Structure 1
Amino acid sequence: MKGFYKLQWTLLAAVMLTSCSKHFLDEDTSGFLAPDNTFINTAGFNAGMTGLYAFARLEFQTWNNDIFSQGATPQEALQAGTDIVAIKTTGTDATLAPFSNYTLNPASSYVRNYWKFSYGLIANANQLLAALENPAISWTDPENDPKLVKGTAAFFRAYAYRYLVTLYGDVPWVDKVSVTPRTDFVRDKKEDVLQMMINDYRTASGNLPEDADGVADGKLTKWAALHYLAEAYLMAHKPDSAIIAANAVINSGYFHLNDQRFGAQKSAPGDYFHDMFIENNQNRKSGNQETIWAMQLDFNTLGGGDRYTDWSKRAWVPFYAQQAGFLLADSLGGRGLGQIRPYKWWLDSYKPGDVRNSEYNIKRHWYYNDPSSPLYGKELVLTDAIRASGNVFETTTKFFYGKTSVDPAFEGNMKDRVKARLAETYLLLAEAYLQKGNTGSAATAINVVRARAKAPLASAGEINTDYLLDERARELIGEEMRRMTLFRFGKEVFYQRVQRNEQSKGVYKDFNWLWPIPQEVIDANTGAPFAQNEGY
């Protein structure tokens, strides 16, 4: 897997303004793997799809790779500066601060890296789609093999553009492999890119397998494509189409909300919501019938992750080992650094009886665990100063992950990462009804999620944008990339929600709704004007 990922990056992944050189095209590639001698049969295309999955996982990779090589927690840049979290005030990862205090600029780390990641994934997808045009391919299953390749590549291209239009707005739509370097890209309108994303998701849904039980863990199905298609329709303000796509997933018969204990630890203390976030419980074979798509990041498994994969634990788990009287422990989440801390409004938003607010799902009470401490066994009295330090604070347990018996300083969070689950599909359905002004149907969709959580049901009169965004936080905190959700609701809502962030509300400007275009992209595009986003 890792070897092929490197092959993919070397041979296929062109970052926006680069492409295969003429010299490379003239080489004799018969002695090593290259597109012209790999994409000639089913096995070669399977290797190419494996490379797509590997490249897509880079969004959670840290340090030790060619994309997110400048920081430890790239995905937390999509949480910082929103309504949901504060960043650690001292000793924080320096790459996160610009996204909280809104000093980001065209040279900021993740501004550049998300662009590279997205266009690298697009280049890989385009390479496979172009190779499909060869009429001489030797297919094992001529009817289904080409469909799987087409559906997989179309999905990942749309998935990459999902990041681009959300973070940068108008971006070039690139759907062809350039045989010579280009320096004349122009920015296509976000609305046009969204329509082409929709086309890709529709292509994916029509070509990917339907049987969610018949695919290997982590592989895409038509239902994952339809879930993201519903989201894309919402971004394009096409709620009727979003309703059709979301309902197709909901009514497929393959998925249901987990409301019973499952998995290897189902007899241990806990609850059915917590079960979804226990190691090895992310895929269908564990009994999890809610997952629509899970990236395979499991630690030290074939096709999974390593110690540099998904350091979300460093962000969401407090740095309690730095607090006097505390020792590292798996039961406390392992080695966290407390880089981001959920805001109190989220903690206070749950109603009594809500399972998502149980002691298994939110860690509110911290007890000294160092036997040598005179305070051993007593509860730490949390103060605002302790919380702000990142040492100890109330937080979600979704990213608790140990391995201290192997390495007390183990950084990672190498559980498989659920990217799409049915609860969110219901909330996308509610969002579509809300776009139409149908608060009654929106409440019905939301109440399916709340009923599973044993929370009081919402009335139609309660439903508005704030209620839905609060409900997404209650259900999906840490799972959704909050910046991307707020963007979908528009510039005004984005601004209003940032006012809940004490660190960001005084420095956020209207243009911060978008990130700047990386400066090297503008500098390299000498053949056509390439405007910077407003304000940068």
Structure 2
Amino acid sequence: MKKVLFTIVLALIVFTSCEDTLEVDNRGFATAESIYITADGYESLINTNYAVLRELYGSAPYVYCAGTDLYAEGSGRAAEPLGLSQYTELNSASEDVDLIYNAAYKAIRLANTALFYADITEQTATLTERVAEVKYLRANAYFLLVQTYGGVPIITEVINTPELEFDRDSAEDVYALIIQDLEEALNNVGTGDYNGRVTQKAVQHLLAKVHLTRGYESFGPATDFDVAASYADDAIAGQGLNLSFDELWDYTNQLNEEVLFSVRYSAGSVSANPTDLGNEQGAFFGPYMGGNEVAGQAPAKTYTLLATDFALRLFTPEDERYEGSFMNEVYNPYYLEHTTDDLTGEAVRDFYEPYWFTPADSTAYVNSIIQTEDFEYHPYESTYAQVVSGDWETIPLKKFDDPEAPYGRSSSTRDIVLSRLGETYLIAAEAYLQAGDAATGLQRLNTVRQRAGVADAALAEFDIDFILDERGRELFGEYHRWFDLKRTGKLVERASAHHPLVNEANFNGANGELKILRPIPQAALDLNQNKNFPQNPAYN
């Protein structure tokens, strides 16, 4: 493991965690040594470790979602980064290819600082728990790195002198560190309900996903899928999916019983600049709906990560996740559905036709509603990506809407859910399938389907493609899809089959390699004095 320069960064960060506002305070010109050896100062360092999650997840989510089977661009009003979305111009300097690299290593530097000071800070009753939380956060950062770039430099120490040359560790070694950190965290984090801090269920969920992902790698032990299934069942612990899909995504119910871990936000934490310091999750999965002149009437949307035809056709008419995910009826104002329990007598401004509507269904619907003067009926052929020409055309995703946010792309203070119980069931389903116990895996998957109101899947149709389809229905818009397709070896097949701007040839890279892993960012290569540091082979 090589050392790199670490500079302690003291930031003024205020964010919500647990039930109170936690502050990171520089306290004038005090040094790190004098701050972090105190109980309050060390707690502020832990809070900073949580706050950096916003840099990993709070901005444009192209690195998590673009270039897959579920999302594509809409009109010419805005465009996704070409490299991440279409692969044809993917290189080490491509837009956003460095997002995870930069933010994850910042998270790792902060975690290493917290682990270093844990040995010399004031000893408190919560110190062991805080150290365990930091190990989870460091493991999460390395897991993002290894999935995205493959092997990366492993850094576990705080270095106070410059180290400008570093080597690349193997993906196998990175996975070993991730699992070690999580296993050490497992029995030392809190065991209660999730309240903003890492809990045992969150660790079990991530351990399950790490073992599941490593199980597909050539160096993965034969036991990985069994271990993944076991950890997923530990996290489930007999808990059912008791909330409806609407209740799960109710913006007033963000710390609900199914959330295992999330990036936390609050209005107070972004008050210095409400339109820039919030998160962008709600802005990327719908059509442009107007400018500031309609502030309060509709959310800011980018027209970039829109549902593909394939994505929408995953849902059947009885699937409650369709209406639970998408704003298929838009009232005036847009947010009325979120803020009003009884919509009887309210006029509909836009309706997005589902693919299963017949002409008779269309006529019956139009005759059954109250319409605004500018009511627009969007036939199915204009509700998905790549076939639109005007504003409001494609169906908006509503799961992440924030009625209390000011108009702006970065203004939401909704939490970003990173792990939840519905996904834990799907991890268990996949792990059991790959471990050779399809019958148990099917039971886990059908628990998810039963909450959605759809018929149980049959054993004859239960395979990895069915699981990926189910993950598409259950987790649409959440930040998993690129990792799902890469993990299962389905990225090329599914993106080229269902993304309108991607074909198999787009993935062809240098040296006969496919562009599956993302390239190591050019800035990282330029700053490294080890000129033998290898780039991923598809980009040499």
Q: Do the aligned partners of 2:301 and 2:409 also contact (CA within 8 Å) in 1?
A: no
Residues 1:193 and 2:174 are matched in the alignment = yes
Q: Is the 8 A contact 2:133 2:197 kept in 1?
A: no
Q: Which residue does 2:207 correspond to in 1?
A: 229
Q: Percentage identity across aligned positions?
A: 27
Q: Distance in 2 between matches of 1:519 and 1:337?
A: 28
SS at match of 1:376: strand
Gaps of 5+ in 2: 9-25, 216-223, 331-347, 351-370
CA contact (8 A) 2:93 2:521 kept: yes
Provide the residue aligned with 1:313 in structure 2. 282
Give the 5 Å matches for 1:245-264.
245-251=231-237, 255-259=239-243
**Structure 1 segment 58-457 matched on structure 2, within 5 A:** 58-62=55-59, 73=60, 75-93=61-79, 96-102=81-87, 103-134=89-120, 137-141=121-125, 145-212=126-193, 217-237=195-215, 238-251=224-237, 255-259=239-243, 272-283=244-255, 288-301=256-269, 306-308=274-276, 309-321=278-290, 328=294, 334-358=299-323, 360-365=324-329, 368=349, 375-381=373-379, 383-384=381-382, 387=388, 391-403=392-404, 407-408=406-407, 412-457=411-456
Q: Measure, in 2, the Cα distance between the counterparts of 1:416 and 1:189.
A: 34
Judging changes above 3 Å, is the alpha-carbon distance between structure 1 residues 93 and 386 closer, same or farther for their aligned structure 2 residues?
A: closer
Which residue is equivalent to 2:515? 512
TM-score, normalising length from structure 1?
0.80
Q: After superposition, what is the alpha-carbon deviation per residue over 1:329-359, rounded to whole angstroms, capped at 9, x for unaligned?
A: 767x52222222111222112233221123x
- Which of the residues 45, 48, 62 maps onto 2:45? 48
Equivalents in 2 of 1:122, 1:343: separation in Å?
Answer: 35
**Structure 1 residue identity aligned to 2:448:** V
Q: CA deviation at 1:508?
A: 2.6
* Post-superposition offset of 1:93: 4.4
Report the aligned-residue RMSD.
2.9
Q: Deviations over 1:418-473 (max 9, x none)?
A: 11110100101011112113221111110011111111101111111110011001
Query: How far did residue 59 of structure 1 move?
Result: 1.9
1:89 and 1:486 map into 2 onto residues whose CA distance is 26
Q: Which residue of 1 aligns with 2:339?
A: none
Q: Is the 8 A contact 2:300 2:408 kept in 1?
A: yes
Aligned match for 1:37, one of 29, 34, 37 = 34
CA contact (8 A) 1:17 1:524 kept: no
- Seen in structure 2, the aligned counterparts of structure 1 residues 235 and 378 have a Cα distance that, compared at 3 Å, is closer
Tell me if structure 1 keeps the 8 A contact 2:64–2:479.
no
Structure 2 residue matching 1:148: 3-state secondary structure: helix
Question: Separation in 2 of the partners of 1:83 and 1:50?
Answer: 36
SS at match of 2:445: helix
Amino acid aligned to 2:440 = S
Question: Aligned equivalents of 1:349 and 1:533: distance in 2?
Answer: 34
TM-superposed CA distance for 1:312, in Å, is 2.3
Once the two structures are TM-superposed, the CA of residue 501 in structure 1 deviates from its matched residue by 1.1
Aligned length: 465
In structure 2, the partner of 1:6 is: none
In structure 2, the CA distance between the partners of 1:239 and 1:337, relative to structure 1 (3 Å rule), is same
Q: Secondary structure at the match of 1:111?
A: coil
For residue 480 of structure 1, report the CA deviation from its aligned partner.
3.0
For 1:458, the aligned partner's letter is A
- The Cα shift of 1:17 comes to 4.8
SS at match of 1:289: coil
Counterpart AA for 1:107: A
1:18 matched to which residue of 2? 5
Mapped partners of 1:330, 1:273: distance in 2: 25
- Compute the displacement of 1:122 (Å): 0.2
Residues of 1 paired with 2:407 and 2:271: CA distance? 25
Alpha-carbon distance in structure 2 between the residues aligned to 1:43 and 1:382 = 56
Provide closer, same or farther for how the CA distance between residues 511 and 304 of structure 1 changes in structure 2, counting only shifts above 3 A. farther
Q: Secondary structure at the match of 2:227?
A: helix
Give the TM-score normalised by the residue count of structure 2.
0.79
2:491 aligned partner, one-letter code? F
Question: 8 Å contact 2:236–2:425 — kept in the other structure?
Answer: yes
Deviations along 1:389-411, one digit per CA (max 9) or x if unpaired, are 6642124321223348xx55575
Looking at structure 1, the residues matched to 259 and 272 of structure 2 have their Cα atoms a distance apart, in angstroms, of: 17
CA distance in 2, matches of 1:31, 1:330: 40
Could you say if the C-alpha distance between residues 452 and 534 of structure 1 is closer, same or farther in structure 2, counting changes exceeding 3 Å? Answer: same
Structure 1 gap ranges (5+): 1-15, 22-28, 63-72, 260-271
* Alignment match, 2:336: none
Q: Deviations over 1:175-221 (max 9, x none)?
A: 111222223311111112111101111112121111126xxx31111
Kindly provide the amino acid, as one letter, of the partner of residue 484 in structure 2.
Answer: T
Bigger Cα displacement from structure 2, 342-351 vs 439-448: 342-351
In the other structure, the counterpart of 2:357 is: none
